[in-house]
Structure 1
Amino acid sequence: MSINHTKREGEIELDVDPSETADDARLVFIGRIRSPWTERAACPKNMKAARETGQPATVEIGAEWRQGLAGLERASHIVLLTWLDQSQRNLIIQKPRHAETASGTFALRSPARPNPIGLHVVRLLRLDQAEGVLHIEAIDVLDKTPLIDIKPYYASTDAVAEAVIAPR
């Protein structure tokens, strides 16, 4: 897939696109995200910004996976793993628009990565298991983004109160 990206000062691309050399991980998409965002420029850059828009979203689960939703309605928040299919995969050093300096891909939350997997902690508003629809508070991905997995969010084990990112 050809991704339109204007290279910024300080960015470094890999010699090859990882999608062209990747082993077959045999991933399956279990559904799609339905969001109000159809263009990258309008899409919120993170979940905090997505929540601030007040725009809800839905997750549509394929019929063969809907039984796996049993019990999920007990969760107030869930973790969605998405495949950011419109992201560039060959940037190893990136310079986000808001940053003064470039950083390594693995030091950023950018969608541009060798395996463009998105991680989203979202509030689950309502679940219709029969129809395979999860209503969520907000999301920071484009409409029709493929869904890889869903996990319940456990504040007791997932939240790390002392976690920090040191200033540069």
Structure 2
Amino acid sequence: MREGEKQLGFDPSALPGDGHVVFIGRIRSPWTSREDCPKNMREARERGMPASVEIDSPYRAGLEGLERASHVVLLSWFDQAPRNLITQKPRYSPVPSGTFALRSPARPNPIGLHVARLVSLDREAGLLEIDAIDVLDDTPLLDVKPYFASIDAMPEATVRPANGEGDRI
């Protein structure tokens, strides 16, 4: 733990479940350690390493029509992330922030959100080739959705960093 970080008094993974979430596949990436893994999708794209998504057989029919999308939203499960940090101090920040003010994988429900360009789709094999990803190899997949720029993009959105210097993404 870094200075200023706080833990919950319990581990959310030990609580009874509120819903029955299933993994529908796996994300395949070139990243095998946290040290090598890009911290965000911008950095992943800058490295120029493509990735893929494997959809398990029972869910492949759900890919019908996805080939019309240029980009997809992937929801992943950060299975190796801690779940008990409620205040965190990122390396780049001068001050701690609440978990819900950060994009860190450490959170009570370690769900990742990724927007990737869909390079190709093989529905029968359940294989999506994507331009980049910022997760470790074999990360569980929760869901795939088409990205709609007309609905999902918010060009006016900003986040002020703790030091007041403008966006830090």
TM over 0.5, yes or no?
yes
Superposed CA offset, 1:7-49 (max 9, x none): 1000001111111114242111000000000101100000000
TM-aligned CA deviation for residue 166 of structure 1: 2.4
Distance (whole Å) between structure 2 residues aligned to residue 167 and residue 42 of structure 1: 25
Could you tell me which amino acid in structure 2 is paired with residue 97 of structure 1?
R
Instruction: Report what 2:99 is aligned to.
Output: 105
Change in Cα spacing, 1:43 to 1:149, as seen in structure 2 (3 Å) is: same
5+ long unaligned stretches in structure 2: 163-169
Which residue among 83, 86, 94 is the counterpart of 1:89?
83
Instruction: Report what 1:3 is aligned to.
Output: none
Instruction: Report what 2:160 is aligned to.
Output: 166
Could you tell me which amino acid in structure 1 is paired with residue 66 of structure 2?
L
Q: State the SS of the aligned residue for 1:148.
A: strand
Instruction: Report what 2:165 is aligned to.
Output: none
Distance (whole Å) between structure 2 residues aligned to residue 14 and residue 63 of structure 1: 38
Could you tell me which amino acid in structure 2 is paired with residue 62 of structure 1?
D
Distance (whole Å) between structure 1 residues aligned to residue 51 and residue 94 of structure 2: 33
Change in Cα spacing, 1:8 to 1:167, as seen in structure 2 (3 Å) is: closer
Distance (whole Å) between structure 2 residues aligned to residue 57 and residue 8 of structure 1: 32
Distance (whole Å) between structure 1 residues aligned to residue 69 and residue 130 of structure 2: 12
Instruction: Report what 2:25 is aligned to.
Output: 31
Which residue among 123, 126, 138 is the counterpart of 2:132?
138
**Number of aligned pairs?**
162
Instruction: Report what 1:76 is aligned to.
Output: 70
Which residue among 14, 25, 28 is the counterpart of 2:8?
14
**Once superposed, which parts of structure 1, at least 4 consecutive aligned residues long, lie more than 3 Å away?**
none
Which residue among 33, 44, 52 is the counterpart of 1:50?
44
Distance (whole Å) between structure 2 residues aligned to residue 163 and residue 89 of structure 1: 27
